[in-house]
Structure formats: structure tokens, C-alpha cells
């Protein structure tokens, strides 16, 4: 399950890494920008660097970058080229709306560009500081007004940013995320909001499921939520939370209460809301709630756990009207979509090939299976998990990962095998085996053990193999030479 979840997290457009060449590139607009999942769909970027911007984009997407400040330096270097590619890239990033729980490379790139000042750099290098910057950058209305004005002035320069639409993109996580964004617009609404209780608050995975928060900040609580989502997180965070609470707004009370309510749970899933709640509690959420909404009714000298328990108890007594709209997770939508797919006949064809070439004593056993599966008309991509370490030398466990087209859906499945089958012969007393022995019932033959969905598994495996290759080369180069 951990491997499956890890593969899901690393899922980006596994099928779109060709160069951005197509017969009819589409102009990027606010309506179609959600269709872009890979930066190299943009026709002005190249996977094999042809200019300075291409090289810097590759660095900005590098998952192994060691120092976060390097991102800021890279973004500034992109803008400093003053090239048409830099202008189009920064402008495109500025168009991308805030989307949460999105896992694509394009969104990662846009978030980094915007976080490290895409709008300020557009203003500096391409608009000659024509727009006055706000005094502070805290997610306030002034900041959003500045960004809007920068984008409007850039539009007058008629940027011609174009991208290639991916073929066979009927079912990807990007499409799922687009559905989520359609359901959850600027202000979260639903027909029947759910009242938050001690039990169901742990089902909230995105803060914007709460009906009192806005994606585009409209009040102090919205601004603090935005700051906690996108940073910067530093010593000023406590001051901003305190300033929000000092206003004594109803939204601020609900926000503080919601964050404090998850504190008593010892083991919760890691998601955007839980991470945000943890930050609020670190930067004084309980103290602010006690001071400005409970009139300091709980003594500060209590032990931390007891203090928080008493604050939460008094806050609950105020009967906060806290509601949320359930936002389906990517996994929930994926599972629902997969219920419309019948992989049985396709699995049967692949399992038949596995059994045909299962003799591990024959050379190229894995290569023969991979090659034969790839020849199936419905198969688009195949990978054998050769780079993953095995828990045991014998019998080792293996996985074949396959991307296939089932109807109008693009589906990725895994097929598990092990290198031996063992069976116990003897007498069983309860759950214990007595007077017998376990023997291997097959000789050098792969045994098919099961199949399942694994979106992103191939992309994750290839990325892992590349990391291991780089590590091996670094270790070899680091070894001292011997005479």
C-alpha cells in the first residue's frame, strides 16, 4: 500500500514526455490552462535545453535540489534573461489558478515561479516597474490587486503562449483534479454542508472544504490560511495569527477552533489541512484563541496538554457553527472511475504471457515477458521493476507494470509474481503445523500472485532507477584511486 501511495504521489504526466511538437498548438487561456500537466507541452520550452531558460526550468524541477533558497535564485535568473521565453513562462505561471492536491510537474513549476515572485519579476523586467508594488506581501487585497494589474498590463503585450494538447488524455489525474476544481470554486458551497464534529473533522483534508474560507482571500482568516499554504513560514507567522485573532472576527474564531480541534488526535493522516492546523498550533493558535475569544479564562501556567484541553473545552461550549463540504480526494475519484472499468479480459491476456515465459532458467525471462506484453494491441507502455531492492534473494517478488487503454480510459495496472511456490505437507493442529514439512512445488518458475491498479507506478519506477544510477556514479567517482 505504501508503494502504491508513493507511486500515486509521484504521478505526473507519464505519457507526455515527448518534445512539444504538434500540428496545431493551442493558445494558452484561463479556460484551457488546466489541461496542461507537463511544462514541456508549452511550445516555447524544450526538454533538451536549447537556451538558458530551458536549462533553468530543468533546474527548477530538480527534486534533488538541496537548498530551497536556490529556487529564488533560479527564478530571478530566468527573468533576468529578459527573453521572450522567460516572459511567456512567467506570464503563463501567473495565469495558473491556485489548485490544491494537484500533483503535476506543470503545477509544481507554476507554484515555484509564483511563490518566488513571478509577478514582481514581470513588473521589473518586462513592464519597467509600471505597477506600484504593495507595502507588504501578506496575501492582502493590495497584493492581489498588484498581481491583477501586472497580468492585465502583460496581456496588452499580446503574449502568444501555446501548448500541445495531449493525445489519449481521457483519464488522468489532471482531469480528476479539474473535476475537483469545478466542484470547488472560489467559495466552497454544496447543497447540504456537513456540521463538523470531533469525529468527522479528521475527514477534512483540505482547509477550503470549510464553508467560511475563500480560495482568493477576502478577510484576515483567508489571508492567514493562504500564508500557511504558500509561505513564507517564519517568525512573523505568529504575529500574523495573533493579528488575525485580535480582530475577533467570526471567521477567525472558526479557523482557530478548527485547527485546535485536531490537536488531540495522536495519529492523523498527513494532508493540507492537518499540516496547516499543526502550523497554527505551533505559532500560538491555542494562546490566541484563549486570549481573544475566551478572555484568557484558561491560566497560561498550566501544563501544555492540560492548557490546550481546557481551551478546546471552553471553545466547544460556544457552540461554533462550523460546516464543511466533502471534497472527494483524488483516490476516491480514481476508485469511483475504476468501477466502470472491467480489466478481467486484459489481465487474462497478460497473465497468459507471464505463464508462457515464466521459466527463470531461460535467458532473458523478464525481457521476453516485457516484449510480448508490449505487443498486445491495447498496451501502451510496460516496465519490469528491475531497480527496486528485494526483501529476500529467494524467493524474490517481482512486478510488471503496464499502461493500457481500456475503452476510452487510460489505466495503469501492476502484476505481481514471486520466484517460487511453497506448500506445507503434514498435520495441522489449529494454526500450527505439526509432523510435516514445507516443500517447493515448482522449479524455477515465476508464480503469478495478483494484479491491481497502480497509477504512476511506471513514472515512479523510472525516476527511482535514474536516482539509483546517479548515486552509483557519484559513489564510483568518490572512491579514492588505488595504486
Residue with the three cell numbers 497478460? 350
> Alpha-carbon distance 272 to 226, whole Å?
11
The grid cell for 432 is: 500450527
Beta bridge partners of 187: 214
Q: What is the pLDDT of residue 292?
A: 93
**Dihedral (C-alpha) 236, 237, 240, 246: value to the nearest 10 degrees?**
-110
Instruction: Tell me what the mean pLDDT of segment 453-460 comes to.
Output: 81
Residue 441, phi-psi category: left (phi > 0), alpha (psi -120 to 50), beta (remainder): alpha
The grid cell for 147 is: 498581481
Is residue 21 predicted with pLDDT exceeding 60? no
Do the beta carbons of residue 11 and residue 103 sit within 8 Å? yes
Do the beta carbons of residue 88 and residue 44 sit within 8 Å? yes
Q: What is the pTM of this model?
A: 0.41
With cut-offs at 50, 70 and 90, classify the pLDDT of residue 51. Answer: confident
With cut-offs at 50, 70 and 90, classify the pLDDT of residue 170. Answer: very low
With cut-offs at 50, 70 and 90, classify the pLDDT of residue 310. Answer: very high
Give the dihedral sign, CA 251/253/255/257.
negative
Q: What is the pLDDT of residue 154?
A: 93
- Which range in 48-52, 279-283, 292-296, 420-424 is most confidently predicted, on average pLDDT? 292-296
Is residue 171 predicted with pLDDT exceeding 60? no
By C-alpha distance, which of 255, 263, 264 is closest to 226?
Answer: 255
Task: Quickly count: other Cβ atoms within 10 Å of residue 395's Cβ.
Answer: 17
> 415 — phi, psi (to 5°)?
-130, 115
Is residue 16 predicted with pLDDT exceeding 80? no
Instruction: Tell me what the mean pLDDT of segment 152-161 comes to.
Output: 91
Specify the range with the lowest mean pLDDT, choosing from 14-23, 163-172, 438-447, 453-462.
14-23
By C-alpha distance, which of 332, 369, 327, 368 is closest to 349?
Answer: 369
Instruction: Tell me what the mean pLDDT of segment 359-378 comes to.
Output: 88
Helix (H) or strand (E) holding 459: helix 457-478
Do the beta carbons of residue 283 and residue 225 sit within 8 Å? no
Is residue 12 predicted with pLDDT exceeding 50? no
With cut-offs at 50, 70 and 90, classify the pLDDT of residue 13. Answer: very low
The grid cell for 383 is: 516496465
Residue with the three cell numbers 527573468? 79
- Which range in 85-94, 196-205, 220-229, 355-364 is most confidently predicted, on average pLDDT? 85-94
| Cα atoms found within 13 Å of the Cα of residue 375, Cβ hemisphere only | 7
pLDDT per residue over 114-153, tens digit each? 888 899 999 999 999 999 888 766 556 677 788 889 999 9
User: Residue 120 in 3-state DSSP?
Assistant: helix
pLDDT per residue over 404-453, tens digit each? 998 888 888 989 887 766 555 566 666 565 666 555 556 678 888 888 88
Do the beta carbons of residue 373 and residue 350 sit within 8 Å? yes
The grid cell for 61 is: 524541477
Specify the range with the lowest mean pLDDT, choosing from 41-45, 122-126, 357-361, 378-382.
357-361
By C-alpha distance, which of 52, 86, 168, 165 is closest to 407?
Answer: 168
Give the dihedral sign, CA 97/103/106/110.
positive
With cut-offs at 50, 70 and 90, classify the pLDDT of residue 7. Answer: very low
pLDDT per residue over 214-272, tens digit each? 877 788 898 888 888 776 666 678 888 999 999 899 999 999 999 998 865 554 555 77
Residue 257 makes CB contacts below 8 A (sequence gap 6+) with 289, 315, 320, 322
Is residue 5 predicted with pLDDT exceeding 60? no
Q: What is the pLDDT of residue 392?
A: 47
pLDDT per residue over 70-103, tens digit each? 788 899 999 999 999 999 999 999 887 655 444 5
Give the dihedral sign, CA 42/48/51/56.
positive
Give the dihedral sign, CA 51/57/58/60.
positive
Task: Quickly count: other Cβ atoms within 10 Å of residue 92's Cβ.
Answer: 25
Q: Average pLDDT of the chain?
A: 78
Which residues in 346-357 are b (16+ Cβ under 10 Å) and which e?
bbeebeebbeeb
With cut-offs at 50, 70 and 90, classify the pLDDT of residue 166. Answer: low
Q: What is the pLDDT of residue 293?
A: 93
Specify the range with the lowest mean pLDDT, choosing from 24-33, 145-154, 180-189, 376-385.
180-189
Residue 410 makes CB contacts below 8 A (sequence gap 6+) with 15, 168, 169, 170, 171, 172, 380, 403, 404
Do the beta carbons of residue 154 and residue 127 sit within 8 Å? yes
Q: What is the pLDDT of residue 87?
A: 95
Q: What is the pLDDT of residue 453?
A: 84
**372 or 201: which carries more pLDDT confidence?**
372
DSSP 391: S
Please state, in angstroms and as integers, the Cα–Cα distance from residue 185 to each residue in 148, 211, 322, following that order: 18, 11, 19
**How do the domains of the chain map onto residue ranges?**
17-165, 185-324, 337-467
DSSP letters, 165-191, are: PPTT-SS-HHHHHHHHHHHS-SB---S
3-state secondary structure 77-112: HHHHCCCHHHHHHHHHHHHCCCCCCCCCHHHHHHHH
Is residue 8 predicted with pLDDT exceeding 70? no
Is residue 182 predicted with pLDDT exceeding 60? no
Q: What is the pLDDT of residue 164?
A: 85
Residue with the three cell numbers 509600471? 130
Do the beta carbons of residue 401 and residue 383 sit within 8 Å? yes
Amino acid at each position: 500500500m505504501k508503494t502504491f501511495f508513493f507511486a500515486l504521489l509521484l504521478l505526473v504526466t507519464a505519457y507526455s514526455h515527448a518534445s512539444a511538437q504538434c500540428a496545431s498548438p493551442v493558445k494558452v487561456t484561463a479556460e484551457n490552462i488546466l489541461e496542461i500537466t507537463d511544462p514541456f507541452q508549452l511550445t516555447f520550452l524544450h526538454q533538451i535545453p536549447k537556451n538558458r531558460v530551458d536549462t533553468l526550468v530543468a533546474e527548477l524541477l530538480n527534486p534533488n535540489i538541496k537548498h530551497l533558497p536556490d529556487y529564488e535564485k533560479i527564478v530571478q535568473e530566468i527573468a533576468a534573461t529578459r527573453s521572450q521565453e522567460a516572459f511567456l513562462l512567467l506570464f503563463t505561471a501567473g495565469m495558473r489558478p491556485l489548485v490544491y492536491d494537484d500533483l503535476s510537474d506543470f503545477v509544481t513549476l507554476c507554484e515555484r515561479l509564483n511563490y518566488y515572485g513571478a509577478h514582481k519579476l514581470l513588473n521589473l523586467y518586462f513592464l519597467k516597474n509600471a505597477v506600484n508594488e504593495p507595502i507588504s506581501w501578506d496575501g492582502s487585497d493590495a497584493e492581489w490587486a498588484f498581481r491583477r494589474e501586472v497580468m492585465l498590463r502583460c496581456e496588452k503585450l499580446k503574449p502568444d503562449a501555446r501548448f500541445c494538447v495531449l493525445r489519449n488524455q481521457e483519464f488522468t489525474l489532471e482531469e480528476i483534479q479539474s473535476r475537483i476544481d469545478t466542484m470547488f470554486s472560489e467559495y466552497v458551497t454544496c447543497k447540504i454542508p456537513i456540521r463538523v464534529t470531533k469525529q468527522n473533522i479528521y475527514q477534512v483534508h483540505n482547509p477550503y472544504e470549510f464553508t467560511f474560507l475563500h480560495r482568493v482571500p477576502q478577510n484576515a482568516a483567508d489571508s492567514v490560511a493562504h500564508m500557511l499554504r504558500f509561505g513564507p513560514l517564519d517568525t512573523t507567522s505568529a504575529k500574523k495569527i495573533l493579528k488575525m485573532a485580535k480582530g475577533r472576527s467570526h471567521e477567525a474564531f472558526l479557523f482557530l477552533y478548527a485547527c485546535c480541534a485536531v490537536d488531540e488526535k495522536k495519529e492523523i493522516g498527513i494532508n493540507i489541512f492537518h499540516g496547516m492546523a499543526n502550523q497554527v498550533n505551533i505559532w500560538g493558535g491555542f494562546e490566541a484563541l484563549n486570549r481573544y475569544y475566551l478572555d484568557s479564562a484558561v491560566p497560561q501556567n498550566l501544563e501544555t496538554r492540560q492548557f490546550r484541553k481546557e481551551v478546546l473545552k471552553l471553545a466547544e461550549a460556544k457552540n461554533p457553527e462550523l460546516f464543511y463540504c466533502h471534497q472527494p480526494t483524488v483516490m476516491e475519484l480514481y476508485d469511483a472511475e475504476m468501477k466502470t472499468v472491467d480489466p478481467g479480459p486484459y489481465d487474462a491476456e497478460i497473465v497468459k504471457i507471464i505463464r508462457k515465459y515464466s521459466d527463470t532458467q531461460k535467458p532473458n525471462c523478464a525481457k521476453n515477458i516485457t516484449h510480448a506484453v508490449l505487443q498486445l494491441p491495447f498496451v501502451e507502455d510496460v516496465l519490469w521493476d528491475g531497480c527496486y531492492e528485494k526483501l529476500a534473494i529467494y524467493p524474490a517478488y517481482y512486478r510488471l507494470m503496464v499502461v493500457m487503454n481500456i475503452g476510452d480510459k487510460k489505466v495503469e495496472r501492476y502484476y505481481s509474481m514471486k520466484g517460487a511456490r511453497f506448500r506445507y505437507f503434514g498435520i495441522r493442529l489449529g494454526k500450527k503445523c505439526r509432523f510435516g514439512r514445507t516443500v517447493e512445488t515448482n522449479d524455477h518458475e515465476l508464480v503469478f500472485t495478483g494484479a491491481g491498479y497502480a497509477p504512476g507506478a511506471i513514472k515512479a519506477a523510472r525516476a527511482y532507477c535514474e536516482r539509483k544510477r546517479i548515486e552509483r556514479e557519484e559513489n564510483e567517482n568518490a572512491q579514492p584511486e588505488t595504486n
